[in-house]
Structure formats: C-alpha cells, structure tokens
Amino acid sequence: MSELDFNETSFWSTVRKFGAKVPFAEDAIAMYYALRDSSTSLRDKAFIVGALAYWIDPFDLVPDFIVAAGQLDDWTVIVAALARVRRSVTSAHRAKARAVLGLPEPTKEQS
C-alpha cells in the first residue's frame, strides 16, 4: 500500500493473515463492527478508522514483516484507540468478533 488505505478487502485480508497470531485481533474486529454501527459517533469512527488503517498498512512505523516487533506497534495503536472508543464497542460487536475468530463466548468468571 503506497498510501493509507482502509477498506473492507484490506481489513479482512489482514484479519486472515494475522488474526490467529495477534492478541488484539478480537479488539480490532470488534472495533470494525463498531465502525459499521450507525449508533457509533463520528468522532469514535474517526479513531477507529485511524487505528484499523494503521494495522492494515504493512509499512507503518515498524513494518509488519519484522517478526514479533512488526505487530507490537499495531497492538499499541489498537489498544490506545480502544481505550478512547470503549463505550462504542458493545458486547454484540465483541460477540461478532469472537464468532469470526471461532472463539467461545466468555463464561461469567472470564467477563
């Protein structure tokens, strides 16, 4: 990607490539569903777009082809954005994210 580009094709390609490998995949996918939710504020959508676009850009601050470190900066951006938009990311968005990743619903002890 020569310029910052966020679209569904790029996002889902990144999910397929890294989803099982990064600890923040559920958060990123849940944020994606919040982005598509009409009840999410425009301000929160802007934070989400910025964070997700950073994740899918392979040539960011630390390029993704550098093993381990390449996803560390992406994790930092996702976590920071999630802290800002946490109220917009609902349990329904998280459930959809877990379904995409094939993860079980959390038990009461986990939540």
Residues of the chain whose pLDDT is less than 70? 1-6, 59-70, 109-111
What's residue 67's pLDDT? 59
Whole-number Å distance between alpha carbons of 54 and 95: 23
Structure-token match 């993860």, residue found: 103
Q: pLDDT, tens digit, for every residue of 28-58?
A: 999 999 999 999 999 999 999 999 988 887 7
Whether the CB-CB separation of 10 and 56 falls below 8 Å is answered with yes
What's residue 16's pLDDT? 87
pTM of structure: 0.80
Q: Is the dihedral of CA 38, 39, 42, 46 positive or negative?
A: negative
End-to-end CA distance of the chain: 38
Backbone angles phi, psi at 96, to 5 degrees: -65, -40
